[in-house]
Amino acid sequence: MGKDIELMAKKKPTLVFNHANLTFEQKKVSWQSRLGYGLMILSGILVFGFISVMISHKIFPSPNEQNLNRRIKLLQKEYQTLDKHLDLVSEDLGTLRKRDENMYRVIYQRDPIDDKIWKSVENGTEKYDLLTKESEYKVIGEILKKITIVRNTMKLQESSYNELADLVRRKDEMLSSIPSIQPVSNRDLTRIASGFGWRMHPIYRIPKRHEGVDFTAPTGTPIYVSGDGVILNCNYDGGYGNCIIVNHGYGYKTRYAHLSSYAVRAGDRVKRGQKIGLVGNTGASVGPHLHYEVEYNDQKVDPALFFYNDLNKEQFEEIVKITNARGKSFD
């Protein structure tokens, strides 16, 4: 090193040829040149130092940077976990939707929710598009989108289940309202005198359509309403004699004719099996009996087809045979 310095010291100065006097002269360096040269060297040293510091921080981060990096990695894992949970929730909601469409709505005869309505669960997610375009916020934007879709899906599914719950309640009410028992006690099936259809009229002696079922029973035998409903009429009605009409709703009405007395009044709400009157022989009748009719959507239907709620399979088949047999009616 010492020898290099000594050589540099002994190095000859730079000579420049002077054309004016035809001689070689020592080159003079201005202070501006020296300053520029010094600044260039200083700039090089600063750039080299900055690069060295950056490399040093990259390879050997400070304690604060290390702590911050750990927190960033932890947050990334938490976001990933949250994203997976949201995917699982979405799958569960998809399963509920399939059950809703393929089971519950089939049972209660309701059309599935339209796909366009299900597509609307994505409404409100567009406000997070800017986040998803930025790489550092992309994960957050996607998670916020999923949360919005899950919330909207849950609201829609809740609305669907509320509708189904109302249908269940109404279905129970309908099942209780359908006239499905015999209006007089007749477990041995011996009280049916005439069924639904064309019969010989006992008074006019001509074939006449009999639009109900006749139950023979002593005067004063209790009469029971065959389904839940409201007493529509409770009065004397020509050939029907003392008559009760019950509105069961859901298109069903029942008529109980030739009564000796009433146990209810118009406007009363009644429950299936409740006593509403007594058997009699009023109106166009040839003996004590109950004439019973069922209407569905203002059309008379065979009442025997509804006696399934208080009979077993064999009894039901037998009573259908009895009511279909030809013969005379009592009214």
Please write the tens of the pLDDT for every residue from 184-239.
988 777 777 777 766 665 555 656 677 888 999 999 999 999 999 999 999 999 98
CATH placement of domain 192-324: 2.70.70.10
CB 258 within 8 A of CB 306: no
CB 331 within 8 A of CB 214: yes
- List average pLDDT for each run of 10 residues in the chain, which is 331 residues long: 48 60 64 72 75 67 72 76 84 84 73 86 85 76 87 89 81 87 84 70 63 91 96 94 95 95 96 96 89 92 83 74 59 56
**What's the DSSP call for residue 128?**
G
Return d(Cα 82, Cα 139) in angstroms, integer. Answer: 10
Among 114, 134, 248, which residue's Cα sits nearest to residue 181? 248
Phi, psi of 112 (to 5 degrees): -65, 160
Cα angle 316-219-269, degrees, rounded to a multiple of 5 = 65
Q: What are the helix and strand counts (H, E) for the chain?
A: 8, 14
Return d(Cα 224, Cα 274) in angstroms, integer. Answer: 5
**What's the DSSP call for residue 17?**
E
* Per-residue pLDDT, 197: 67
Global pTM value:
0.53
Tell me how crowded residue 44 is: count the other CB atoms within 10 A of its CB. 10
Return d(Cα 139, Cα 146) in angstroms, integer. Answer: 11
Handedness of CA 90, 96, 99, 101 (dihedral sign): negative
Phi, psi of 194 (to 5 degrees): -155, 145
**What's the DSSP call for residue 238?**
G
Give residue for tokens 């030809």: 326
Decide: residue 310, CB within 10 A, 0-12 exposed, 13-18 middle, 19+ buried: middle
* Per-residue pLDDT, 5: 43
Q: How far is CA 154 from CA 98, 112, 143, in A?
A: 14, 16, 16
189-192 long-range Cβ contacts below 8 angstroms, 24+ apart: 189/315, 189/318, 189/319, 189/322, 191/215, 191/216, 191/217, 192/216, 192/304, 192/319, 192/322, 192/323
Return d(Cα 31, Cα 321) in angstroms, integer. Answer: 132
Query: How far is CA 317 from its chain centroid?
Result: 41
* Per-residue pLDDT, 171: 80
**Residue 3: which H helix or E strand, with range?**
helix 2-10
